[in-house]
Chain A
């Protein structure tokens, strides 16, 4: 058993690609080795801005021997009448490198066929690895690769060197004109000269000596630890930020923290502005005082350990001062106008040429929000907040600060509203209304904010559907999918039990050009339900259960709750049996062709009465189940799963399942389709009631009982 090292040396990689590759490269190598029949032990990955590497333990010296069986022509076409192989058979044998006499005939489902069977494998690993490892470079996924120099090879950034060692022997991998060797490189600035590796196993130690922290997890831990201790040294607390920690980890090979500071007069800028400038623009960690206020200091992670860090610190501080000066300029300039005046400027900002300006959009959103508020009901106080917030919603888009720092949209609306002295609830609604910012970003916490957010997002979805720009495949240039998901998550989290079509009508009614046709709105609704199904799938609800819940619901929260209830119910054996019977009843009941009432006087068989008598209890059980689910599953962020599990529903389930015995007896005892039209109609009506009794649980016809196919 041997140890394999493969290192791809590059010019500086994008930080997201370093992280992504660290996660996937082990799987890619394992899949390639598996495909070649090479057994192996543990795989460790390494990733820095300048290298991606794997270290494979316990690699088998030879590929596994196994039988390779390939199907050839049908037996009838493979042999002449006298048993000699035909041309087709000879060609097939030759292409598989065996003697035609060794072809075998076997019976298959499709008839008798000729097969070529041969032993493969047993190849030395060292012979298989060059092509296999070159394939690993190809397999690393990236949305966009580049070429360099005068070659045709493409990668995320130019390749600089390759190392491929099987124990102490070089594997001659070639890629992009580079021949692999045993020479790697150390830190770009902290280590001079090449690093020779005698053996694959000494990789990480040799790099550590050359000032490279190759293990990503260890390097990340060291980024955090050094940043925290730099802050703690001056009695400050580091502001943790997961995305920044990840990014910084992949911008350095040898992290060292440098504490810097800025003029305290900048501290009267909103915290979000300071944090955005430090984190997004400079990749600095903000710090806080013991009391929790932002401090006028930051921690930067340098990739270089310089003899005198005053120069580097001075550079960091000067750049930050320039950025904060800019921010201060915008903050002062923007506040010379009120948000209401900034809102006027929205007319000059295009939303989309067929959907008008941002002013047009915001006007539609205001209309839709008011309709939604009526539909959903808001308190007097909320209505007052809404009234003040609507004319100012998204007005901050017209401010210089948001123009320069677009990630602060909403946040600035809130900050400027506060600075104007508007009520806090109005300020909060302006920020809440732009939430969620991403697929997992936090949702609007206030009802008013949620109304704005839903109306704004559904306006986007509906508008782009109306002009024929619905997302297709992975292409979604206008963010329609993102808008849809944001609206659905917010709607569910608010727990509003309002039919989705009603919500959409409120939105569609605010459009004048384009007018939203019914078929477009139906399309939008289908699209949204598909997204609901997708979010429920993320909560590990089975596909058939998702379909039953979605098709059996009018509101999104209803679908979400039903999905989790049904997910539990289908696992109960008694309920599964009931489902089978229920499906039969529902299928027969389809023939009633109307809402005929059941007339007990027309019962002709002793099993009909008991079934009829059992219905009220079943209905009660269903009601209790639904009430229980509503009580136990508080509204949640769709896609992340409810916070609670269902429990104590056994009694209600039993009430429903008790319908099974009389229903079973009914199907055993009577023929439904008898000649007597009255009796037949009455029995169908009874079955329709059975179907109806359970219908509140969802579109049960989509469910399959276990074992049913």
Chain B
């Protein structure tokens, strides 16, 4: 199964189970959890189901494309179901079957994982899903998001698409994964990855990113003052990315790093509270 067929299969599978298939968000994020369709929609009582490919950036994780598994830019497949259904594990296993992975032919385990995102004021409990010793999915029941208790609880499934594709195609490196006939992930991302790694580690202008962080932080607060939650949250995401670039550049001391984490957290928590207060206009249609 080619990479794009995989994502299409997952879209089909989750659409059939009542999910909105949302296109990727266009602000840089460290993980699908930062998507407004996850972070903000996990708040409040309204049911919500969303799925889709979620490109993510973690500047510090880049390895210039040398490591088969680690990248500064990669694809997650993100599913959020609110409230978490009682049969979600079975549904998840069915989605693997849908991808051509027969759970009866593999060693699949749900291994304890306690998830926490200090910059999002969020934590949850769940599992890493292991297939034959490889982590292929993170499975989390959100308990708190933006410092607010989740009620009802959402479950988030994050598939590691590159790993799954490598497995399905027998590829030794993510860049060898075939996306479409004759086109590999490497064709799409190799130069991009290498150049961004060089940028992240050696050429990030630290003064510029610090300045941007400061300005974006003020902007987030200003927009919150105008009750413009969605634009405010995007500026909070930009703060988070500026912080990630500074972190990758290696210019933050331990203490300073903690300070940035706290500042991002204060912004995302403020956005969460503001969203919860103002979200009536966003109330979604009944979810199947």
Contact = CB atoms under 8 A, between A and B. Distances in A.
Interface of A: 11-16, 49, 144, 146-150, 156-158, 160, 189, 251-252, 258, 282, 284, 300, 302-304, 306-308, 311-312, 314-316, 318-320, 322, 326, 348-350, 353
Contact of A311 (B85, B106, B125, B155): B106
Given A189-B108, A303-B109, A149 B132 contact: no
Contacts of B108: 189, 303-304
A160 B106 CA distance: 23
B134 interface: yes
User: Secondary structure of the B side of the interface?
Assistant: mixed
B153 A306 contact: no
A160 B167 contact: no
A671 B85 CA distance: 87
A304 B86 contact: no
B132 A144 contact: no
A308 B105 contact: yes
B201 interface: no
Given A306-B104, A322-B68, A149 B83 contact: yes
Given A11-B89, A160-B86, A320-B133, A315 B167 contact: yes
Interface string B219-260: 000000000000000000000000000000000011100000
Contacts of B143: 146-147
A50 to B, nearest CB: 9
Contacts of B107: 258, 300, 302-304, 306, 312, 315
Contacts of B1: none
A158 B90 CA distance: 14
Contacts of A252: 109
Contacts of B153: 146-150
27 contacts: A11-B110, A12-B112, A12-B127, A14-B112, A15-B112, A144-B114, A146-B141, A147-B150, A148-B84, A149-B83, A149-B84, A157-B125, A158-B84, A158-B86, A251-B111, A303-B108, A304-B104, A311-B105, A315-B131, A315-B134, A318-B134, A319-B132, A322-B68, A322-B69, A326-B67, A349-B254, A350-B255
Nearest to B114: A144
A353 B104 contact: no
Nearest to B131: A315
Contacts of A302: 107
B118 interface: no
A315 B132 contact: yes
Contacts of A307: 105
B152 interface: yes
B85 A149 contact: yes
A552 B132 CA distance: 60
B151 interface: yes
Most chain B beta-carbon neighbours within 10 Å: one of A13, A144, A306, A319: A319
Contacts of A160: 86
B103 interface: yes
Contacts of A284: 133
Given A149-B152, A150-B152, 6 more contacts: A11-B89, A12-B110, A14-B112, A146-B153, A303-B108, A315-B167
B248 to A, nearest CB: 15
A311 B131 CA distance: 11
A348 B155 CA distance: 39
B105 to A, nearest CB: 5
A353 B84 contact: no
Contact of A306 (B86, B106, B152): B106
Contacts, number: 104
B106 A312 contact: yes
10 smallest beta-carbon distances between A and B, as pairs: A315-B132, A350-B254, A150-B152, A12-B110, A14-B112, A302-B107, A150-B83, A316-B133, A319-B133, A146-B125
A49 B111 CA distance: 10
Nearest to A190: B104
B124 to A, nearest CB: 7
A158 B143 CA distance: 12
B109 A251 contact: yes
A158 B112 contact: no
Contacts of A146: 124-125, 141, 143, 153
Contacts of A148: 83-84, 141, 153, 155
Interface string B116-137: 0000000011010001111000
A227 to B, nearest CB: 14
Contact of B103 (A147, A150, A156, A189): A189
Contact of B106 (A282, A300, A315, A348): A315
B97 to A, nearest CB: 12
Contacts of A49: 110
A185 to B, nearest CB: 11
A316 B141 contact: no
A350 B259 CA distance: 14
B114 to A, nearest CB: 8
Nearest to A348: B253
Given A11-B110, A251-B109, A306-B104, A158 B133 contact: no
Contacts of A157: 125
A149 B255 CA distance: 38
Contacts of B83: 148-150
A150 B151 contact: yes
A282 B133 contact: yes
Most chain A beta-carbon neighbours within 10 Å: one of B68, B105, B253, B255: B105
B125 A319 contact: no
Nearest to B152: A150
Interface string B246-284: 000000011100000000000000000000000000000
Contacts of B132: 311-312, 314-316, 319
Interface string B6-38: 000000000000000000000000000000000
B254 A149 contact: no
A164 B168 CA distance: 43
Interface string B63-93: 0000111000000000000011110010000
A12 B134 CA distance: 17
